[in-house]
Structure 1
Amino acid sequence: MSTVLATFRAEADALGHVASRWAPDDWGRPTRCAPWSVRELFAHVHVALAWLPGMLTAPAPEAAQVSAAGYYRPDHRFSPEADAARIRFAQDRAPGLDVREFRAFTADLADRCAAEPPGRVVRTRHGDAMLLDDFLTTRVVELAVHGLDLADALGRPAWLTPPAADLVLGLLFGRPASELPGPPDRLLRQATNREPPSPALTRLNLTPLTLN
Protein backbone atom coordinates (compact mmCIF):
# COMPACT_ATOMS: atom_id res chain seq x y z
CA MET A 1 0.00 0.00 0.00
CA SER A 2 1.35 3.43 -0.91
CA THR A 3 1.90 6.06 1.75
CA VAL A 4 -0.72 8.30 0.13
CA LEU A 5 -3.29 5.50 0.15
CA ALA A 6 -2.59 4.71 3.81
CA THR A 7 -3.03 8.40 4.61
CA PHE A 8 -6.30 8.53 2.71
CA ARG A 9 -7.58 5.47 4.54
CA ALA A 10 -6.68 6.88 7.96
CA GLU A 11 -8.09 10.37 7.39
CA ALA A 12 -11.34 9.05 5.91
CA ASP A 13 -11.76 6.60 8.80
CA ALA A 14 -11.12 9.39 11.32
CA LEU A 15 -13.94 11.44 9.82
CA GLY A 16 -16.29 8.46 9.76
CA HIS A 17 -15.47 7.66 13.37
CA VAL A 18 -16.22 11.14 14.74
CA ALA A 19 -19.27 11.62 12.52
CA SER A 20 -20.86 8.44 13.87
CA ARG A 21 -21.00 10.15 17.29
CA TRP A 22 -22.63 13.42 16.25
CA ALA A 23 -26.04 14.15 17.73
CA PRO A 24 -29.08 14.75 15.49
CA ASP A 25 -28.96 18.49 16.19
CA ASP A 26 -25.31 18.66 15.12
CA TRP A 27 -26.13 17.84 11.52
CA GLY A 28 -28.20 20.97 11.00
CA ARG A 29 -25.58 23.44 12.20
CA PRO A 30 -24.26 26.01 9.73
CA THR A 31 -20.68 25.82 8.43
CA ARG A 32 -18.30 28.42 7.06
CA CYS A 33 -18.92 26.83 3.67
CA ALA A 34 -22.20 28.68 3.23
CA PRO A 35 -24.92 27.78 2.44
CA TRP A 36 -24.06 24.23 3.51
CA SER A 37 -25.06 22.77 6.85
CA VAL A 38 -22.91 20.12 8.51
CA ARG A 39 -24.93 17.40 6.80
CA GLU A 40 -24.61 19.07 3.40
CA LEU A 41 -20.87 19.61 3.77
CA PHE A 42 -20.48 15.97 4.83
CA ALA A 43 -22.47 15.02 1.72
CA HIS A 44 -20.09 17.11 -0.40
CA VAL A 45 -17.11 15.19 0.99
CA HIS A 46 -18.90 11.92 0.26
CA VAL A 47 -19.54 13.05 -3.33
CA ALA A 48 -15.90 14.10 -3.74
CA LEU A 49 -14.83 10.56 -2.87
CA ALA A 50 -17.57 8.81 -4.80
CA TRP A 51 -16.03 9.72 -8.17
CA LEU A 52 -13.28 7.15 -7.56
CA PRO A 53 -15.06 3.89 -8.51
CA GLY A 54 -15.98 5.16 -11.97
CA MET A 55 -12.44 6.43 -12.50
CA LEU A 56 -11.01 3.02 -11.61
CA THR A 57 -13.30 1.13 -13.99
CA ALA A 58 -12.69 3.52 -16.91
CA PRO A 59 -9.79 2.94 -19.31
CA ALA A 60 -6.49 4.27 -17.98
CA PRO A 61 -4.93 7.20 -19.87
CA GLU A 62 -1.49 6.54 -21.31
CA ALA A 63 0.30 9.10 -19.15
CA ALA A 64 -0.37 11.53 -16.33
CA GLN A 65 -0.51 15.20 -17.33
CA VAL A 66 -1.69 16.98 -14.18
CA SER A 67 -0.16 17.00 -10.68
CA ALA A 68 -2.03 17.17 -7.39
CA ALA A 69 -1.31 20.92 -7.10
CA GLY A 70 -2.23 21.42 -10.76
CA TYR A 71 -5.63 19.88 -10.12
CA TYR A 72 -6.49 22.97 -8.06
CA ARG A 73 -5.76 25.47 -10.82
CA PRO A 74 -8.33 28.32 -11.08
CA ASP A 75 -10.25 27.37 -14.22
CA HIS A 76 -13.83 26.49 -15.14
CA ARG A 77 -14.15 23.90 -12.35
CA PHE A 78 -14.24 26.71 -9.78
CA SER A 79 -16.44 29.10 -11.78
CA PRO A 80 -19.61 30.52 -10.19
CA GLU A 81 -21.68 28.14 -12.32
CA ALA A 82 -19.64 25.12 -11.24
CA ASP A 83 -19.80 26.20 -7.60
CA ALA A 84 -23.58 26.60 -7.80
CA ALA A 85 -23.92 23.11 -9.29
CA ARG A 86 -21.61 21.70 -6.59
CA ILE A 87 -23.75 23.28 -3.87
CA ARG A 88 -26.98 21.90 -5.32
CA PHE A 89 -25.52 18.43 -5.78
CA ALA A 90 -24.48 18.18 -2.14
CA GLN A 91 -27.83 19.55 -0.97
CA ASP A 92 -29.66 16.99 -3.09
CA ARG A 93 -27.57 14.12 -1.72
CA ALA A 94 -27.65 15.19 1.93
CA PRO A 95 -31.15 13.97 2.94
CA GLY A 96 -30.46 10.34 1.97
CA LEU A 97 -26.94 10.17 3.34
CA ASP A 98 -26.36 7.36 5.87
CA VAL A 99 -23.32 8.19 7.97
CA ARG A 100 -23.23 4.64 9.30
CA GLU A 101 -22.12 3.46 5.86
CA PHE A 102 -19.36 6.04 5.42
CA ARG A 103 -16.54 4.06 7.04
CA ALA A 104 -17.38 0.93 5.05
CA PHE A 105 -17.66 3.04 1.89
CA THR A 106 -14.22 4.62 2.34
CA ALA A 107 -12.60 1.33 3.40
CA ASP A 108 -13.91 -0.26 0.20
CA LEU A 109 -12.53 2.66 -1.83
CA ALA A 110 -9.12 2.18 -0.25
CA ASP A 111 -9.21 -1.56 -0.90
CA ARG A 112 -10.08 -0.97 -4.55
CA CYS A 113 -7.23 1.51 -4.92
CA ALA A 114 -4.83 -0.92 -3.24
CA ALA A 115 -5.61 -3.49 -5.94
CA GLU A 116 -4.41 -1.14 -8.69
CA PRO A 117 -0.86 -1.47 -10.07
CA PRO A 118 1.88 1.03 -9.14
CA GLY A 119 1.87 4.06 -11.41
CA ARG A 120 -1.84 3.69 -12.22
CA VAL A 121 -3.17 6.68 -14.15
CA VAL A 122 -6.80 7.78 -13.90
CA ARG A 123 -8.91 10.43 -15.60
CA THR A 124 -10.89 12.79 -13.39
CA ARG A 125 -14.40 14.02 -14.13
CA HIS A 126 -12.77 17.27 -15.28
CA GLY A 127 -10.72 15.40 -17.88
CA ASP A 128 -7.37 15.52 -16.08
CA ALA A 129 -5.06 12.52 -16.52
CA MET A 130 -3.44 12.01 -13.11
CA LEU A 131 -1.50 9.40 -11.20
CA LEU A 132 -3.88 7.67 -8.82
CA ASP A 133 -1.66 8.68 -5.89
CA ASP A 134 -1.89 12.33 -6.98
CA PHE A 135 -5.67 12.15 -7.22
CA LEU A 136 -5.79 10.48 -3.79
CA THR A 137 -3.71 13.39 -2.51
CA THR A 138 -6.49 15.74 -3.63
CA ARG A 139 -9.01 13.57 -1.78
CA VAL A 140 -6.90 13.87 1.39
CA VAL A 141 -6.97 17.64 0.89
CA GLU A 142 -10.78 17.50 0.72
CA LEU A 143 -10.99 15.33 3.84
CA ALA A 144 -8.49 17.41 5.82
CA VAL A 145 -9.69 20.91 4.93
CA HIS A 146 -13.40 20.14 5.16
CA GLY A 147 -12.71 18.12 8.28
CA LEU A 148 -11.53 21.38 9.86
CA ASP A 149 -14.66 23.13 8.57
CA LEU A 150 -16.83 20.46 10.19
CA ALA A 151 -14.90 20.47 13.47
CA ASP A 152 -15.13 24.26 13.71
CA ALA A 153 -18.85 24.24 12.90
CA LEU A 154 -19.41 21.81 15.75
CA GLY A 155 -17.00 23.44 18.18
CA ARG A 156 -14.97 20.21 18.40
CA PRO A 157 -11.20 19.64 18.45
CA ALA A 158 -9.77 18.92 15.01
CA TRP A 159 -9.21 15.23 14.23
CA LEU A 160 -6.61 15.94 11.51
CA THR A 161 -4.32 12.91 11.44
CA PRO A 162 -0.54 13.50 11.44
CA PRO A 163 -0.01 11.75 8.07
CA ALA A 164 -2.72 13.91 6.47
CA ALA A 165 -1.22 17.04 8.00
CA ASP A 166 2.18 16.14 6.57
CA LEU A 167 0.75 15.34 3.14
CA VAL A 168 -1.37 18.47 2.78
CA LEU A 169 1.14 20.86 4.33
CA GLY A 170 3.82 19.27 2.18
CA LEU A 171 1.70 20.02 -0.89
CA LEU A 172 1.23 23.61 0.27
CA PHE A 173 4.71 24.39 1.60
CA GLY A 174 7.01 21.62 0.38
CA ARG A 175 7.77 20.63 3.99
CA PRO A 176 6.16 18.35 6.59
CA ALA A 177 4.33 19.71 9.61
CA SER A 178 7.33 19.12 11.88
CA GLU A 179 9.34 21.68 9.91
CA LEU A 180 6.69 24.40 9.99
CA PRO A 181 5.84 26.91 12.74
CA GLY A 182 2.65 26.32 14.72
CA PRO A 183 0.00 23.62 15.12
CA PRO A 184 -0.76 21.84 11.82
CA ASP A 185 -4.52 22.46 11.99
CA ARG A 186 -3.99 26.19 12.48
CA LEU A 187 -1.45 26.36 9.66
CA LEU A 188 -3.89 24.59 7.36
CA ARG A 189 -6.69 26.99 8.27
CA GLN A 190 -4.44 29.96 7.58
CA ALA A 191 -3.09 28.55 4.32
CA THR A 192 -6.64 27.99 3.02
CA ASN A 193 -7.99 31.39 4.12
CA ARG A 194 -9.99 30.02 7.01
CA GLU A 195 -8.01 32.14 9.48
CA PRO A 196 -5.96 35.32 8.99
CA PRO A 197 -2.36 34.43 8.16
CA SER A 198 0.22 34.85 10.90
CA PRO A 199 3.48 36.74 10.27
CA ALA A 200 5.30 33.41 10.30
CA LEU A 201 3.02 32.02 7.58
CA THR A 202 3.53 35.02 5.29
CA ARG A 203 7.25 34.33 5.29
CA LEU A 204 6.77 30.79 4.01
CA ASN A 205 6.73 29.80 0.34
CA LEU A 206 3.05 28.87 -0.06
CA THR A 207 1.72 27.09 -3.14
CA PRO A 208 -1.82 28.49 -3.35
CA LEU A 209 -4.63 26.09 -4.20
CA THR A 210 -8.04 27.07 -5.54
CA LEU A 211 -10.44 25.38 -3.15
CA ASN A 212 -14.22 25.28 -2.89
Structure 2
Amino acid sequence: METVREAFRDECVRLETVLGDLTAADLDRPTPCPPWRLRDLVAHVRTGVGRLAGMLAEPAPPAAEVDAVSYFGAAKFTPEVDRDRIESARREGAALPGVPAMVADFARAWRATDEAVTAATPDRVVRTRHGEPMTVTEFLRTRVVEVAVHGLDLADALDREPWLTPAAARVAAAVLTGGRPVPDALGWDDVTLLRKVTGRAPLTPEEITVSGTAGLGGLSFSG
Protein backbone atom coordinates (compact mmCIF):
# COMPACT_ATOMS: atom_id res chain seq x y z
CA MET A 1 0.00 0.00 0.00
CA GLU A 2 2.73 2.51 0.92
CA THR A 3 4.48 1.96 -2.41
CA VAL A 4 1.25 2.65 -4.28
CA ARG A 5 0.47 5.69 -2.12
CA GLU A 6 3.92 7.09 -2.84
CA ALA A 7 3.36 6.66 -6.57
CA PHE A 8 -0.07 8.31 -6.37
CA ARG A 9 1.23 11.26 -4.37
CA ASP A 10 4.32 11.75 -6.54
CA GLU A 11 2.38 11.83 -9.79
CA CYS A 12 -0.40 14.03 -8.44
CA VAL A 13 2.04 16.54 -6.93
CA ARG A 14 3.90 16.71 -10.24
CA LEU A 15 0.70 17.22 -12.22
CA GLU A 16 -0.51 19.86 -9.76
CA THR A 17 2.72 21.78 -10.37
CA VAL A 18 2.30 21.53 -14.15
CA LEU A 19 -1.30 22.72 -13.98
CA GLY A 20 -0.23 25.73 -11.96
CA ASP A 21 1.93 26.92 -14.88
CA LEU A 22 -0.88 26.86 -17.44
CA THR A 23 -2.43 29.91 -19.07
CA ALA A 24 -6.11 30.43 -19.76
CA ALA A 25 -5.46 29.80 -23.46
CA ASP A 26 -3.92 26.41 -22.67
CA LEU A 27 -7.25 25.16 -21.34
CA ASP A 28 -8.74 25.12 -24.84
CA ARG A 29 -5.92 23.19 -26.49
CA PRO A 30 -6.96 19.97 -28.28
CA THR A 31 -5.79 16.71 -26.71
CA PRO A 32 -5.02 13.19 -27.96
CA CYS A 33 -8.38 12.19 -26.39
CA PRO A 34 -10.91 13.85 -28.73
CA PRO A 35 -13.33 15.48 -28.40
CA TRP A 36 -11.85 16.61 -25.11
CA ARG A 37 -10.01 19.89 -24.87
CA LEU A 38 -7.34 20.18 -22.21
CA ARG A 39 -9.85 21.56 -19.68
CA ASP A 40 -12.07 18.49 -20.23
CA LEU A 41 -9.21 16.05 -19.80
CA VAL A 42 -8.13 17.77 -16.57
CA ALA A 43 -11.72 17.54 -15.32
CA HIS A 44 -11.74 13.81 -16.13
CA VAL A 45 -8.47 13.26 -14.26
CA ARG A 46 -9.69 15.29 -11.29
CA THR A 47 -12.79 13.13 -11.05
CA GLY A 48 -10.69 9.98 -11.31
CA VAL A 49 -8.23 10.89 -8.56
CA GLY A 50 -11.05 11.93 -6.25
CA ARG A 51 -13.26 8.85 -6.57
CA LEU A 52 -11.77 6.81 -3.76
CA ALA A 53 -12.69 9.27 -1.00
CA GLY A 54 -16.37 8.87 -1.81
CA MET A 55 -16.09 5.11 -2.23
CA LEU A 56 -14.57 4.77 1.24
CA ALA A 57 -17.52 6.66 2.71
CA GLU A 58 -19.85 3.88 1.51
CA PRO A 59 -20.41 0.50 3.24
CA ALA A 60 -17.75 -2.08 2.42
CA PRO A 61 -18.72 -5.03 0.18
CA PRO A 62 -18.06 -8.43 1.80
CA ALA A 63 -15.10 -9.43 -0.40
CA ALA A 64 -12.94 -8.23 -3.29
CA GLU A 65 -13.57 -9.88 -6.65
CA VAL A 66 -11.22 -8.06 -9.04
CA ASP A 67 -7.72 -6.60 -8.93
CA ALA A 68 -6.23 -3.66 -10.87
CA VAL A 69 -5.30 -5.78 -13.89
CA SER A 70 -8.73 -7.34 -14.25
CA TYR A 71 -10.32 -3.90 -13.69
CA PHE A 72 -8.75 -2.71 -16.93
CA GLY A 73 -9.18 -6.08 -18.62
CA ALA A 74 -12.96 -6.02 -18.41
CA ALA A 75 -14.85 -4.73 -21.46
CA LYS A 76 -16.76 -2.14 -19.46
CA PHE A 77 -16.73 0.75 -21.91
CA THR A 78 -20.03 0.18 -23.69
CA PRO A 79 -21.15 2.96 -26.05
CA GLU A 80 -23.53 4.26 -23.38
CA VAL A 81 -20.90 4.26 -20.63
CA ASP A 82 -18.31 5.84 -22.92
CA ARG A 83 -20.72 8.56 -24.04
CA ASP A 84 -21.58 9.42 -20.45
CA ARG A 85 -17.90 9.52 -19.49
CA ILE A 86 -17.06 11.85 -22.36
CA GLU A 87 -19.99 14.21 -21.85
CA SER A 88 -19.54 14.35 -18.08
CA ALA A 89 -15.96 15.54 -18.50
CA ARG A 90 -17.02 18.10 -21.08
CA ARG A 91 -19.66 19.52 -18.73
CA GLU A 92 -17.19 19.69 -15.87
CA GLY A 93 -14.51 21.17 -18.12
CA ALA A 94 -16.87 23.88 -19.36
CA ALA A 95 -17.62 24.82 -15.75
CA LEU A 96 -13.96 25.41 -14.84
CA PRO A 97 -13.69 29.12 -13.96
CA GLY A 98 -9.97 29.42 -14.60
CA VAL A 99 -6.53 28.00 -13.92
CA PRO A 100 -6.19 28.88 -10.19
CA ALA A 101 -9.58 27.36 -9.34
CA MET A 102 -8.84 24.31 -11.48
CA VAL A 103 -5.55 23.70 -9.66
CA ALA A 104 -7.21 24.12 -6.28
CA ASP A 105 -9.99 21.71 -7.28
CA PHE A 106 -7.51 19.08 -8.46
CA ALA A 107 -5.44 19.50 -5.28
CA ARG A 108 -8.51 19.05 -3.06
CA ALA A 109 -9.57 15.93 -4.96
CA TRP A 110 -6.32 13.99 -4.80
CA ARG A 111 -5.53 15.05 -1.24
CA ALA A 112 -9.00 13.94 -0.09
CA THR A 113 -8.25 10.51 -1.56
CA ASP A 114 -4.83 10.40 0.08
CA GLU A 115 -6.29 11.32 3.47
CA ALA A 116 -9.09 8.75 3.13
CA VAL A 117 -6.61 6.03 2.20
CA THR A 118 -4.47 6.89 5.21
CA ALA A 119 -7.40 6.12 7.49
CA ALA A 120 -8.24 2.83 5.74
CA THR A 121 -6.67 -0.62 6.00
CA PRO A 122 -4.99 -1.87 2.80
CA ASP A 123 -7.46 -4.73 2.45
CA ARG A 124 -10.56 -2.57 3.00
CA VAL A 125 -12.99 -3.38 0.16
CA VAL A 126 -14.71 -0.67 -1.91
CA ARG A 127 -17.15 -0.81 -4.80
CA THR A 128 -16.27 0.91 -8.08
CA ARG A 129 -18.74 2.92 -10.14
CA HIS A 130 -18.94 -0.14 -12.39
CA GLY A 131 -20.04 -2.27 -9.44
CA GLU A 132 -16.79 -4.21 -8.92
CA PRO A 133 -15.61 -4.93 -5.36
CA MET A 134 -11.88 -4.19 -5.01
CA THR A 135 -9.45 -3.61 -2.17
CA VAL A 136 -8.36 -0.04 -1.54
CA THR A 137 -4.81 -0.90 -2.58
CA GLU A 138 -5.87 -2.38 -5.91
CA PHE A 139 -8.20 0.50 -6.76
CA LEU A 140 -5.49 3.02 -5.88
CA ARG A 141 -3.24 1.23 -8.36
CA THR A 142 -5.81 2.02 -11.07
CA ARG A 143 -5.72 5.68 -10.04
CA VAL A 144 -1.96 5.72 -10.51
CA VAL A 145 -2.43 4.33 -14.01
CA GLU A 146 -5.07 6.95 -14.81
CA VAL A 147 -3.06 9.97 -13.68
CA ALA A 148 0.17 8.65 -15.20
CA VAL A 149 -1.21 7.78 -18.63
CA HIS A 150 -3.38 10.87 -18.90
CA GLY A 151 -0.34 12.84 -17.82
CA LEU A 152 1.25 11.70 -21.09
CA ASP A 153 -1.84 12.94 -22.95
CA LEU A 154 -1.63 16.31 -21.22
CA ALA A 155 2.09 16.59 -21.99
CA ASP A 156 1.34 15.93 -25.67
CA ALA A 157 -1.42 18.54 -25.66
CA LEU A 158 1.00 21.08 -24.16
CA ASP A 159 3.89 20.13 -26.48
CA ARG A 160 6.03 19.30 -23.43
CA GLU A 161 8.28 16.43 -22.49
CA PRO A 162 6.43 13.87 -20.33
CA TRP A 163 6.86 14.33 -16.58
CA LEU A 164 6.15 10.72 -15.58
CA THR A 165 7.57 10.10 -12.11
CA PRO A 166 9.62 6.94 -11.43
CA ALA A 167 7.32 5.58 -8.71
CA ALA A 168 4.21 6.03 -10.83
CA ALA A 169 5.96 4.51 -13.84
CA ARG A 170 6.72 1.34 -11.86
CA VAL A 171 3.18 0.94 -10.55
CA ALA A 172 1.50 1.73 -13.87
CA ALA A 173 3.80 -0.59 -15.82
CA ALA A 174 3.10 -3.47 -13.43
CA VAL A 175 -0.65 -3.04 -13.92
CA LEU A 176 -0.60 -2.53 -17.68
CA THR A 177 1.67 -5.51 -18.28
CA GLY A 178 -0.18 -7.71 -15.82
CA GLY A 179 3.09 -8.03 -13.92
CA ARG A 180 4.75 -9.77 -16.86
CA PRO A 181 8.37 -8.89 -17.67
CA VAL A 182 8.89 -6.70 -20.71
CA PRO A 183 11.27 -8.40 -23.17
CA ASP A 184 14.60 -6.62 -23.55
CA ALA A 185 14.19 -6.97 -27.31
CA LEU A 186 11.48 -4.31 -27.26
CA GLY A 187 13.87 -1.68 -25.87
CA TRP A 188 11.04 0.39 -24.39
CA ASP A 189 11.61 3.02 -21.72
CA ASP A 190 8.83 3.77 -19.20
CA VAL A 191 7.08 6.37 -21.33
CA THR A 192 7.22 4.22 -24.46
CA LEU A 193 5.89 1.22 -22.56
CA LEU A 194 2.84 3.15 -21.34
CA ARG A 195 2.21 4.62 -24.78
CA LYS A 196 2.50 1.27 -26.54
CA VAL A 197 0.37 -0.86 -24.23
CA THR A 198 -2.43 1.73 -24.09
CA GLY A 199 -2.52 2.24 -27.87
CA ARG A 200 -1.13 5.74 -27.73
CA ALA A 201 1.78 4.76 -29.97
CA PRO A 202 1.55 2.22 -32.80
CA LEU A 203 3.29 -1.14 -32.57
CA THR A 204 5.64 -2.21 -35.32
CA PRO A 205 5.10 -5.69 -36.80
CA GLU A 206 8.10 -6.96 -34.79
CA GLU A 207 6.74 -5.38 -31.59
CA ILE A 208 3.37 -7.02 -32.17
CA THR A 209 5.05 -10.41 -32.40
CA VAL A 210 7.35 -9.96 -29.41
CA SER A 211 4.74 -8.35 -27.14
CA GLY A 212 2.13 -10.92 -28.11
CA THR A 213 4.49 -13.78 -27.26
CA ALA A 214 5.20 -12.10 -23.90
CA GLY A 215 1.47 -11.81 -23.17
CA LEU A 216 1.41 -8.01 -23.12
CA GLY A 217 -1.63 -5.98 -24.11
CA GLY A 218 -5.31 -6.81 -24.14
CA LEU A 219 -6.36 -4.25 -21.53
CA SER A 220 -9.25 -1.84 -22.07
CA PHE A 221 -7.69 1.37 -20.80
CA SER A 222 -9.60 4.09 -22.63
CA GLY A 223 -8.95 7.81 -23.11
State TM-score, norm by structure 2: 0.87
Partner residue in 2 for 1:183: 189
Secondary structure class of the residue paired with 2:73: coil
Partner residue in 2 for 1:84: 83
What is the aligned length? 211
Partner residue in 2 for 1:138: 142
Matched, 1:193 2:192: no
Shift of 1:186: 1.5
Segment of structure 1 superposing worse, 131-140 or 111-120:
111-120
Partner residue in 2 for 1:128: 132
Q: Which amino acid aligns with 1:117?
A: T
Partner residue in 2 for 1:41: 41
Structure 2 counterparts to residues 53-92 of structure 1, below 5 A: 53-75=53-75, 77-92=76-91
Matches of 1:132 and 1:99, distance apart in 2: 26
Q: Are 2:122 and 2:135, in contact at CA under 8 Å, matched by a contact in 1?
A: no
Matched, 1:162 2:178: no
Shift of 1:104: 3.7
Q: Are 2:49 and 2:109, in contact at CA under 8 Å, matched by a contact in 1?
A: no
Q: Which amino acid aligns with 1:78?
A: F
Secondary structure class of the residue paired with 1:170: helix
Percent same amino acid at aligned positions? 43
Matches of 2:181 and 2:107, distance apart in 1: 27
How much is the aligned-residue C-alpha RMSD, in angstroms?
2.0
Partner residue in 1 for 2:32: 32
Secondary structure class of the residue paired with 1:51: helix
Partner residue in 1 for 2:176: 172
Matches of 1:152 and 1:125, distance apart in 2: 29
Q: Per-residue CA shift, 1:46-84, capped at 9, x if unaligned?
A: 112232222101111121101111112343x30111111
For residues 203 and 45 of structure 1, do their structure 2 counterparts lie closer, same or farther at Cα, with a shift above 3 Å needed? Answer: same
Which of 107, 112, 115 is equivalent to 2:111? 107
For residues 148 and 202 of structure 1, do their structure 2 counterparts lie closer, same or farther at Cα, with a shift above 3 Å needed? Answer: farther
Matches of 1:51 and 1:87, distance apart in 2: 17
Q: Which amino acid aligns with 1:134?
A: E
For residues 201 and 136 of structure 1, do their structure 2 counterparts lie closer, same or farther at Cα, with a shift above 3 Å needed? Answer: farther
Shift of 1:176: 7.3
Matches of 1:114 and 1:8, distance apart in 2: 12
Q: Per-residue CA shift, 1:101-129, capped at 9, x if unaligned?
A: 12243123212111112311111111110
Matches of 1:2 and 1:201, distance apart in 2: 34
Q: Per-residue CA shift, 1:21-49, capped at 9, x if unaligned?
A: 01211110111111000000110111122
Matches of 1:201 and 1:116, distance apart in 2: 41
Shift of 1:202: 4.4
Matches of 1:33 and 1:176, distance apart in 2: 28
Q: Per-residue CA shift, 1:139-179, capped at 9, x if unaligned?
A: 111101111111011100101111111111112232578x7
Q: Are 1:181 and 1:200, in contact at CA under 8 Å, matched by a contact in 2?
A: no
Segment of structure 1 superposing worse, 88-97 or 134-143:
88-97
Shift of 1:100: 2.5
Q: Are 1:137 and 1:167, in contact at CA under 8 Å, matched by a contact in 2?
A: yes
State TM-score, norm by structure 1: 0.91
Q: Which amino acid aligns with 1:142?
A: E
